[in-house]
């Protein structure tokens, strides 16, 4: 049995990459940027007002000012501001030549004479200068980034409407187990509903992959082999759940070998997820995940997801937050690294959720993250700082 760190090293040394394609920036959400993006212009592109008010000279603020014109956003000023003059100006409009500040309309008073008077003390210029946010040619988005809505706004503002991204890994999901029925069926007395497949499909989607479900394989070697071979030939990654333990019908490692997979490990010293299996085929990478839904969920997050993102050359790190335990946590055995589902309380401390083991599927919706307890440790003390990894 290898350590979790060794397993992660083996998985992450896989050299497979998905290649790139060009798409519209509007389709970019959750895709991984494959090339740097630079700005085609200064931002802001001109000196602009950040408020609705009057553009004038600071030296004239004690005087009543003559209004020359109104400059709406989208128009260019036609008048230069001179001594004791101003122009009415809207947020986002270009500041006229001669003006060095914009006073807010809320700080002014219109006089019956038609002049305007400043009724406050000077606080700030309320001007955004050309290029103060971004210079023409400056790098605005770096390759390797998983694209979020705020990145799409930057692409839009620099006119980068076609982007090169990594292709999404094609990931097959196979559920194995003769006791499984699909969720629309009422299970018979010895059956359970298949919850892993839909959970994994959602995890793949969230991680930026493209999932394809291949159905339930009964605990039958020949049937499982034919589904696995088809999945390997059509995908970059194959995830099989169930059938990796020590039971009489746990055929997956043998099926994988028959399918030409070179198995790199079949046991990790982790809890949950000990029987997690990993192998390489010339066409794709294969994980055999344990059948219990909590195990397959957590092993996907800690082992599969990092590789899926690496296949896209994504510079991703899980979000990890350090926080104090709000109660003592004890476990009996310390021979494996444990991932413990926890929730973050309202007072920003960490509380393990009620968790009866790797089949306890309703424990995970309560959890905000997992904390990991290393091999050899049995206790987290109340108040001890632990690292919560978001799930």
Which residue spans within 96-226 are E strands per DSSP? 101-104, 108-110, 116-118, 127-128, 139-141, 162-166, 170-176, 180-181, 192-193, 210-217
Pairing assessment for the beta strands 285-289 and 329-330 based on DSSP bridges? unpaired
Question: If phi over 0 gives left and psi between -120 and 50 gives alpha, with beta otherwise, what is residue 199?
Answer: alpha
Residue 241 within binding range of ligand AMP, rule CB under 6 A: yes
| Rounded Cα gap, residues 193 and 183, in angstroms | 5
* Candidate residues 196, 266, 277, 284; the one interacting with ligand AMP per rule CB under 6 A: 196
126: helix, strand or coil? coil
Can you read off the two tokens belonging to residue 312? 């896209």
Q: Least distance (Å) from Mg ion to the CB of residue 290?
A: 9
Judged by CB under 6 A, the residue of 77, 290, 341, 369 near ligand AMP is 290
251 close to 277: Cβ distance less than 8 angstroms: no
Site string for ligand AMP, 172-191 (x = CB under 6 A): ---x-x-xx-----------
User: Using CA of residue 45, residue 49, residue 52, residue 54, what is the dihedral sign?
Assistant: negative
Rule CB under 5 A: say whether 275 interacts with Mg ion. Answer: no
Provide the minimum distance between the beta carbon of 295 and ligand AMP in the complex, in angstroms, as a whole number. 8
Q: Residue 197 Cβ, how far from ligand AMP at the closest point, in Å?
A: 6
**Which residue's CB is nearer to ligand AMP, number 18 or number 276?**
276
Tell me: does residue 195 bind ligand AMP (CB under 6 A): yes
Query: Which residue stretch of 44-52, 53-61, 162-170, 283-291 sits at the interface with Mg ion (rule: CB under 5 A)?
Result: 283-291
Q: Which of 39, 194, 284, 299 binds ligand AMP (CB under 6 A)?
A: 194
201 binds ligand AMP (CB under 6 A): no
Could you say which of ligand AMP, Mg ion, none residue 179 binds, taking C-beta under 5 to 8 angstroms by partner kind? ligand AMP
Q: Is the CB of residue 277 less than 8 Å from the CB of residue 256?
A: yes
Rank residues 85 and 299 by Cβ distance to ligand AMP and give the closer one. 299
Q: Are 187 and 193 in contact (CB under 8 A)?
A: yes
* Segment lying near ligand AMP (by CB under 6 A), choices 24-32, 36-44, 194-202, 375-383: 194-202
Does 247 bind ligand AMP (CB under 6 A)? Our answer is: yes
User: Would you say 251 and 296 are in contact if contact means Cβ atoms under 8 Å apart?
Assistant: no
Q: Interface with Mg ion by CB under 5 A: which residues?
A: 177, 242-243, 291
């Amino acid at each position: 049995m290898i350590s979790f760190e060794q397993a992660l090293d083996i998985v992450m040394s896989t050299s497979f990459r998905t290649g790139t394609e060009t798409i519209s920036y509007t389709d970019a959400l959750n895709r991984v940027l494959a090339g740097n993006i630079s700005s085609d212009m200064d931002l802001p592109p001109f000196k602009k007002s950040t408020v609705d008010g009057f553009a004038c000279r600071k030296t004239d603020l004690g005087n009543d000012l003559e209004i020359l014109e109104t400059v709406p956003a989208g128009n260019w000023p036609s008048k230069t501001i001179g001594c004791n003059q101003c122009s009415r100006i809207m947020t986002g409009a270009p500041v006229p030549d001669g003006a060095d500040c914009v006073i807010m309309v809320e700080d002014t008073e219109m006089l019956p004479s038609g002049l305007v008077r400043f009724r406050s003390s000077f606080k700030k210029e309320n001007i955004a200068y050309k290029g103060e946010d971004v210079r023409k040619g400056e790098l605005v988005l770096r390759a390797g980034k998983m694209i979020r809505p705020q990145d799409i706004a930057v692409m839009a503002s620099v006119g980068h409407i076609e982007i090169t991204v990594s292709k999404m890994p094609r990931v097959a999901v196979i559920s194995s187990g003769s006791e499984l029925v699909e969720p629309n069926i009422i299970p018979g007395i010895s059956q359970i509903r298949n919850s892993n497949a839909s959970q994994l499909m959602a995890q793949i989607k969230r991680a930026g992959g493209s999932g394809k479900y291949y159905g339930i394989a009964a605990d039958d070697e020949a049937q499982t082999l034919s589904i696995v071979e088809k999945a390997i030939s059509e995908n970059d990654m194959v995830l099989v759940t169930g059938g990796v333990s020590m039971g009489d019908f746990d055929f997956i490692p043998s099926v994988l070998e028959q399918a030409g997979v070179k198995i790199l490990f079949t046991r990790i010293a982790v809890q949950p997820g000990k029987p997690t299996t990993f192998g390489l085929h010339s066409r794709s990478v294969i994980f055999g995940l344990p059948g219990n839904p909590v195990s397959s969920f957590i092993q996907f997050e800690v082992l599969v997801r990092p590789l899926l993102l690496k296949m896209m050359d994504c510079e991703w790190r899980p979000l990890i937050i350090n926080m104090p335990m709000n109660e003592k946590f004890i476990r009996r055995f310390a021979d494996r690294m444990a991932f413990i589902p926890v929730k973050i309380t309202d007072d920003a401390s960490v509380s393990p959720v009620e968790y009866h083991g790797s089949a306890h599927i309703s424990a995970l919706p309560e959890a905000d993250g997992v904390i990991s307890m290393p091999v050899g440790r049995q206790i987290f003390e109340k108040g001890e700082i632990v690292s919560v990894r978001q799930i």
